[in-house]
Structure formats: structure tokens, C-alpha cells
Structure 1
Amino acid sequence: MDIKSVLDERVIDLNMTAKNKKEAIEHLAGKLKDAGYIADVDSYIDDIYLRESQGQTGIGHYVAIPHGKSDSVTQVGIAIGKVQDEIEWETLDGKGVKLIFLFAVGNDNENAKTHLRLLAEVARTLGNDDAVEALLNAGTVEDLKAVFA
């Protein structure tokens, strides 16, 4: 499984209106629920915040990759949200966040392996400044997918 195979336009919102971290996570979790990736939004969000309490997921350059293993995940996926104005988030560079990759990963070993592969692939892409710039400027799902092509 690679990043291109999990990019699902049903869980991508490039015009998200979230004003803070809580709204962003709740919005993206709702999209995951509606698309059948998670069974229980509240349980999933609790697991995301548990992971958030262990260390910041804002990796800098206006990007955050919140994640956490959850029993409520029924299918591995990544919800992606983008906001116009940065929102406050704990980040490595002290800046806010405009682009959020919310991972949906189950608790079993196979899910853990898939999660690590996807996280590594996303991290590789996000390590490229041009790719991050292209993602921040993506106007359509196709634009976003092209960065991972």
C-alpha cells in the first residue's frame, strides 16, 4: 500500500474552514467516519489526542501529521485538510498549520506496518520544500495527488 492508493477525495478538503486544531481534527474525523474509515468518531478523536499528548505532530512548514492507533479504525486512510489562514498548533518551527494529514490506523500489527510505510512516504514528500509549496498551493484534489505521483 502506498500513499497514492489511500488518497481518497471523499476525505480531502482543500477549503476547510476550521479555526483551530480541535475543529480541524473533528472535521477530518467526521469525513473519515462518513466515508467508512472509522466506526466511532469520539473514540477515534480520543486516540488522536492521546498521541498528541505524547509529542507534537506539527512538523513545521505549516504542516501537521496527527495520528494515533485506534480500535475504531475499519480501514487505513489519510484525511487531508487545508486552511487558508494558519491555525495554532504545536509545531517544531513555532509556526501555525495550514495543511493537516490525519492518519486513520488500526491497532493490529499489519495496520502498524502500513501506518509506518505511509508515514515514511508522507514524511519523504514533506521533506521536499517544493513539494510542500505545491501542496500548500493545491487547488484541487488532482493537484494534491500530482505531488505524490
Structure 2
Amino acid sequence: MEISEILDKNIIETNLNVATKEEAIEHIVASLKTNDYISEEKAFAQDIYAREKEGKTGIGNYIAIPHGKSSVVDKVGVAIFINKQEIPWESIDEHGVKVIVLFAVGDSNEGAEQHLKLLALFAKKLGNEKVVQNLLAANTADEVIASFAQ
């Protein structure tokens, strides 16, 4: 599985302008609903917040990977939103977040398997300094997708 096969330009945004984690999640969830990845915004957001309570999803370098397995996911997707400024987010390096990589996966056994594969795939790429630099500088969905080609 290649990241370029998973990413959908319709759920990638490089000019998000929010001040809080809650605003960011609300905006991303609405985008997932608009693009038919989920059937219900409120339930999906609740599943994300339930996971957020379990531990930090900020992985450092201004990146967070919030996620939640949910019964309201209609198709697996990875939304990537880049905020104009750093927003407060619980993170392992105590910095806020600019890049949000949100996984939408179902809550079945198959969904759990896809979730682990996506986490492994993205964690490896997001551990690459060049990928992170390119993401932080991306101005278009195409540039976001190209960032992962490193």
C-alpha cells in the first residue's frame, strides 16, 4: 500500500486557520462528512475525542495523528490539514501542532487491521525530517501528496 493511493485531494487542506484542537477536529470531521467518508459528524467526533483521552496524539515536529475507530466510517480515509499557525495540542515534544493527519477507519476487525497498517505507514514517513519539512511548507494538496514521496 502506497500513501499516494490512499490520499484524496478532497480531504487535504493547506490553509486551515483555527485556534484550537476542537475547531480543527470539527472542521476536518465536517470535510470527511461532505466527502462521504463518514455518515455522522457528532458520533465520529466523539470517537476521536475518546481516543484523545487515552493519550497524546501529537507525535512531535508540529504533527498530530488523531484517530478513532468508528462505526460511522463509510470508507477508509486519511485527512491532512495544515493550519496557518501552531495550535495547542498534547504532544510528546510539548510543542503545538500545525499538521493534522486524521485517520477515518471502521470499528470492525478489518478496520482495526487497516488502522494499524495506516499508522505504521504514516509513522514511518512522518519520522523522516525531509517529509516533515515539505509538509510544513506545502501550499497545495499536490504538494502535500508529493511530500510523502521522499
TM-score, length basis structure 1: 0.97
Once residues 6 and 125 of structure 1 are traced to their aligned partners in structure 2, the CA distance between those partners, rounded to angstroms, is 14
The residue type equivalent to 2:23 in the other structure is E
Deviation of 1:130 after TM superposition, in Å, equals 1.2
Q: Residues 99-138 of structure 1 correspond to what in structure 2 (within 5 A)?
A: 99-138=99-138
Q: Secondary structure at the match of 1:86?
A: strand
Once residues 8 and 84 of structure 1 are traced to their aligned partners in structure 2, the CA distance between those partners, rounded to angstroms, is 21
Once residues 2 and 67 of structure 2 are traced to their aligned partners in structure 1, the CA distance between those partners, rounded to angstroms, is 17
Alignment deviations for residues 52-81 of structure 1 (CA, whole Å, 9 cap, x no partner): 000010001000000010001000001111
Corresponding residue number in structure 2 for 1:3: 3
The residue type equivalent to 1:67 in the other structure is H
Once residues 24 and 6 of structure 1 are traced to their aligned partners in structure 2, the CA distance between those partners, rounded to angstroms, is 21
Once residues 59 and 76 of structure 1 are traced to their aligned partners in structure 2, the CA distance between those partners, rounded to angstroms, is 22
Corresponding residue number in structure 1 for 2:75: 75
Alignment deviations for residues 122-141 of structure 1 (CA, whole Å, 9 cap, x no partner): 10011011110111101111
Corresponding residue number in structure 2 for 1:35: 35
Contact 1:17 1:83 in 2 (8 A): yes
Whose strand fraction is larger, Structure 1's or Structure 2's? 2
The residue type equivalent to 1:31 in the other structure is S
Runs of 5+ unmatched residues, structure 2: none
Contact 1:77 1:103 in 2 (8 A): yes
Q: Residues 55-74 of structure 1 correspond to what in structure 2 (within 5 A)?
A: 55-74=55-74
Q: Secondary structure at the match of 1:105?
A: strand
The residue type equivalent to 1:87 in the other structure is I
Q: Secondary structure at the match of 2:101?
A: strand
**Residues matched between the structures, number:** 149
% identity of equivalent residues = 49
TM-score, length basis structure 2: 0.96
Greater shift in the superposed pair: 139-148 or 34-43: 139-148
Q: Secondary structure at the match of 2:98?
A: strand
The residue type equivalent to 1:54 in the other structure is E
Superposition RMSD on alpha carbons, in Å? 0.9
Once residues 3 and 106 of structure 2 are traced to their aligned partners in structure 1, the CA distance between those partners, rounded to angstroms, is 17
Runs of 5+ unmatched residues, structure 1: none
Deviation beyond 2 Å, 4+ runs, structure 1: none
